Structure 1
């Protein structure tokens, strides 16, 4: 056994050998994760001086053009890691000694993690932190927050907030503390599904029938009708329709391509990879778009299809107000938060399924990442469809539908 650099010390019962640990130097492993995303991560090993063991860690570096740029960003991080590995005095505090607060973690590690979210999602999370989470947990140390604190917090909001708000807050807290767990800042998450997951109460979203949609179109200002019609017949998201430019319209192929969404006046990436899609247009709608282009002052490929007089995309607030007024004139009872432009998307899914009975077709048109979203949320079965189902079963079990009631009763008696 090589005992160079070894020291010996006597214990109360036995003599033991203490080996001097060699100094460690790492460059870390820089990887694009997931591959092709442009997002780079750094993987390295850190020595826990208290537990006398190595811990493998991964950090998100951010978006870089290539590995060389990501490597340069990793160098100062690895310099600090190597310093901590080789000097117990500079080592990061263990979980037991970590005094990081909820707010400090949110402003550091959580912000780095949340970069991957859509801007609208990040904005929503930010408002929830500011309004609900920071006032309650901001100054508390992560390791001091207990399951009881989480229960007390959620119970206090149960009568004040909607079910959807409670679900979002629960999901945020769950991910937040799981992230803290990944960074070895806590021993166990205080969020416990059996104690804290809100009960799911499924509420059917309202939908519009074809006649109601036609009534709304007639009541809309003439300049807005084509915009509403396009959403109604394609099931596009509101932001996707606002973001459409002439470069996305292919008259020869009778197609329109969803490449972006509009958020706070700027073009952003669509909600998911499946949201980026081509939608086949009926020839009548295609011709209406072509005629609209001829009349428009903004015909260039990069111009918005639906534009204000100054060429900018339509105002979200203004077009929403026009929709509400049209619904009122059409005699449609509105419920706050449920009769915006998204109702056309639910209606499109329901109407299309009623005609086709093809969930896969509806999924493709609406651009959902999974068919369960289409079936569970966007397809609403009408009474006629349900009745058709029982008729099919009766025909399958009883045979010819023309048989008399007496004959059918004899089969089951």
Structure 2
């Protein structure tokens, strides 16, 4: 017999309670923020819907309402964020049948996608247009991300202690909480803790730039300074426009780095390790279009090789 209080519980209230019980302290703050955003949408879209009233029709109507203001992928994410709580409600006997079964995911027409990465010539041209002075600034930050493929938060967390110039590498073992109050945070996953090999030019440049800096303080973040992703993207945008190449984001530099390595013939396994991906599957999914293009080149190479055997 289901408790009468639970029968009267609103869906958004149940979902908020579910987040607190199952997600709080178990997931990263950035992921938690997505669940809390889903909760806010429930309050907005279905303020009076009770958990026990959930069925396939009103759940589909909820998704459809959400999809009116969001693209299909965002609606899919919303669906997945709700589904775990709903399945637990089914297990508790609050809902007779799974209302998420056979849900149809809709969404607004995606906006025109901006270029995700630059080719080798475009990257070289853009880097040539960076205003690299004698002090570390966002121009140097852009150069380092382009050379290493680090995530934005990883590069922000770098301290002089993380550079091992004698072995030509930089150590990634933490991130910077730029979305919160600042300070160091763990990496995205265990695979993100890694050592990235540096070229000699970068070694020479940064060994000079970080001389005399406090070895445990971030080299790109001043104490008490709030860092915004948009600020760095603005510097990068100006460099791209000056170089007359497509405008990409800081995260686009990470895609550019990986793409150039793959086109250069570096193995997927090595690229995955350098990027700090949890598995090669992540790398394959993210760069499928490039891998397919390389496979087509391989087929041409195989056919030419075989034709010479007759």
TM-score by length of 1: 0.65
> Which of 197, 221, 225 lines up with 2:131 in the alignment?
221
- Specify whether residues 176 and 318 from structure 1 end up closer, same or farther in structure 2 by C-alpha distance, changes over 3 A only: same
Aligned to 1:277: 194
- Specify whether residues 314 and 93 from structure 1 end up closer, same or farther in structure 2 by C-alpha distance, changes over 3 A only: closer
The Cα of 1:392 is off from its aligned counterpart by 2.3
Could you report, residue by residue, the CA deviation over 1:237-260 in whole angstroms, capped at 9, with x for unpaired residues?
A: 111111111222222222211122
> Which of 268, 290, 293 lines up with 2:210 in the alignment?
293
The Cα of 1:365 is off from its aligned counterpart by 0.6
Greater CA drift, 243-252 or 157-166: 157-166
Aligned to 1:117: 27
Partner SS for 1:189: coil
Tell me if structure 2 keeps the 8 A contact 1:245–1:302.
Answer: yes
- Specify whether residues 252 and 314 from structure 1 end up closer, same or farther in structure 2 by C-alpha distance, changes over 3 A only: farther
Tell me if structure 1 keeps the 8 A contact 2:45–2:65.
Answer: no
Partner SS for 2:176: strand
The Cα of 1:359 is off from its aligned counterpart by 0.7
Tell me if structure 1 keeps the 8 A contact 2:64–2:106.
Answer: no
Aligned to 1:318: 231
The Cα of 1:322 is off from its aligned counterpart by 1.0
Q: Aligned equivalents of 1:384 and 1:106: distance in 2?
A: 44
Aligned to 2:243: 330
> Aligned pair 1:237/2:151, yes or no?
yes
Partner SS for 2:184: strand
Partner SS for 1:368: coil
The Cα of 1:271 is off from its aligned counterpart by 1.2
Query: Which protein shows a greater Rg?
Result: 1
Q: Which runs of 5+ in 1 are unaligned?
A: 1-49, 51-91, 404-413
Aligned to 2:59: 150
Aligned to 1:196: 104
Aligned to 1:303: 217
Tell me if structure 2 keeps the 8 A contact 1:346–1:379.
Answer: no
> Aligned pair 1:129/2:36, yes or no?
no
Could you report, residue by residue, the CA deviation over 1:179-221 in whole angstroms, capped at 9, with x for unpaired residues?
A: 33344433333111x333569x998963211221222223333
Tell me if structure 1 keeps the 8 A contact 2:151–2:251.
Answer: yes
- Specify whether residues 280 and 94 from structure 1 end up closer, same or farther in structure 2 by C-alpha distance, changes over 3 A only: farther
- Specify whether residues 271 and 140 from structure 1 end up closer, same or farther in structure 2 by C-alpha distance, changes over 3 A only: same
**Shift >4 Å, 4+ stretches:** 201-205, 310-315
Could you report, residue by residue, the CA deviation over 1:168-188 in whole angstroms, capped at 9, with x for unpaired residues?
A: 111112122123334443333
The structure with the largest helix share of the pair is: 2
Number of equivalent positions: 299
The Cα of 1:387 is off from its aligned counterpart by 4.9
Partner SS for 1:221: coil
- Specify whether residues 187 and 166 from structure 1 end up closer, same or farther in structure 2 by C-alpha distance, changes over 3 A only: same
Greater CA drift, 205-214 or 376-385: 376-385
Q: Aligned equivalents of 1:205 and 1:380: distance in 2?
A: 14
- Specify whether residues 213 and 226 from structure 1 end up closer, same or farther in structure 2 by C-alpha distance, changes over 3 A only: same
Tell me if structure 2 keeps the 8 A contact 1:350–1:380.
Answer: no
Q: Aligned equivalents of 2:143 and 2:289: distance in 1?
A: 21
Partner SS for 2:171: strand
The Cα of 1:159 is off from its aligned counterpart by 4.4
Q: Which runs of 5+ in 2 are unaligned?
A: none
Aligned to 2:162: 248
TM-score by length of 2: 0.84
> Which of 1, 4, 7 lines up with 1:98 in the alignment?
7
